Amino acid sequence: MARKKIVAANWKMNLTLSEGEKLINQLLEGLPEVLECEVVLAPPFTHLQMLVELVGGTSILPAAQHCHAEKAGAYTGEVSVAMLNSLGIKYCITGHSERRQLFFETNQIVRSKVDAILEGGLTPIFCCGESLDIRQASQQNQFVKEQLEECIFHLGPDAFRKLVIAYEPIWAIGTGMTASPEQAQEMHLFIRDTIRQAYDSDISDEIRILYGGSIKADNAATLFAAPDVDGGLVGGASLQPAGFIEIIKAAC
């Protein structure tokens, strides 16, 4: 079946409010009004209200980089899914390798966030992927399978269909290294086959699996041409409007 591609931008902790506004306007000016793929922007929390106001009625969808699993409470500095929903946010990234590594988010924590995001009416972009030492030990398939099993395979079929999965080889994030199209396709197919075994062919064929790991304008088309790669989760390259527009065009 034909899956609509997604190009999602993760700005991480970059750009002031005015810089973010300028970038959003450049994207709006440089992109067609109607797109054949989904474009998702995940700026810092401080930019979300502005983003929602600027992209309302366009093909760009607003996303958050992070959320807390609890609905409310004494969690200084955190943001709930209900807060994001009240702004009009559509997607929320969870399980990103930087959250796992720098903030010690375990598979159990990610699982609870997936549940909270779905319960709150947003779409999770669930991230999974292996480090360089795991890849060099040829353990990447087992490692990713465990992430899938422990974070999302508890979901019922209807809830699971709402997910977007992003495979991010940690060794290729911000390093300039990129998985080859063959490596990306191999892992994406493995993820899809693992979903098929856990659920069924209909669900595995529907789920969109993004690639995230040093995507650039000059490699996006080749990566996106792989049959099981349904777009990308783009980090640093999404901060450069001309290059990001070319990445989007490669998907659309």
Report the domain count for the chain: 1
> Would residue 179 count as lying in a domain?
yes
pLDDT at position 241 over 90: yes
Q: Provide the residue type at 208 as one letter.
A: R
38, 105, 130, 168: the active-site residue: 168
> Would residue 174 count as lying in a domain?
yes
Query: Catalytic: 96?
Result: yes
> Would residue 1 count as lying in a domain?
no
Range 89-96 average pLDDT: 98
> Would residue 131 count as lying in a domain?
yes
Q: What is the pLDDT of residue 1?
A: 59
> Would residue 180 count as lying in a domain?
yes
> Would residue 218 count as lying in a domain?
yes
> Would residue 66 count as lying in a domain?
yes
Kindly report the CATH number assigned to the domain that includes residue 168. Answer: 3.20.20.70
Range 121-132 average pLDDT: 96
Range 43-64 average pLDDT: 96
> Would residue 90 count as lying in a domain?
yes
Report the percent of the chain where pLDDT is more than 90: 89
**pLDDT tens readout for residues 149-167:** 999 999 999 999 999 999 9
Chain centroid to Cα 205, Å, comes to 18
Q: Residue 144: give the domain boundaries.
A: 6-251
Range 88-114 average pLDDT: 97
What mean pLDDT, rounded, does the chain reach?
A: 95
Q: What are the structure tokens assigned to 128, written together?
A: 């999974």
Range 208-218 average pLDDT: 93
Q: What is the pLDDT of residue 93?
A: 98
38, 96, 130, 188: the active-site residue: 96
pLDDT at position 175 over 80: no
What lies within 8 Å, CB to CB, of 170 at 6+ separation is: 97, 101, 129, 130, 131, 132
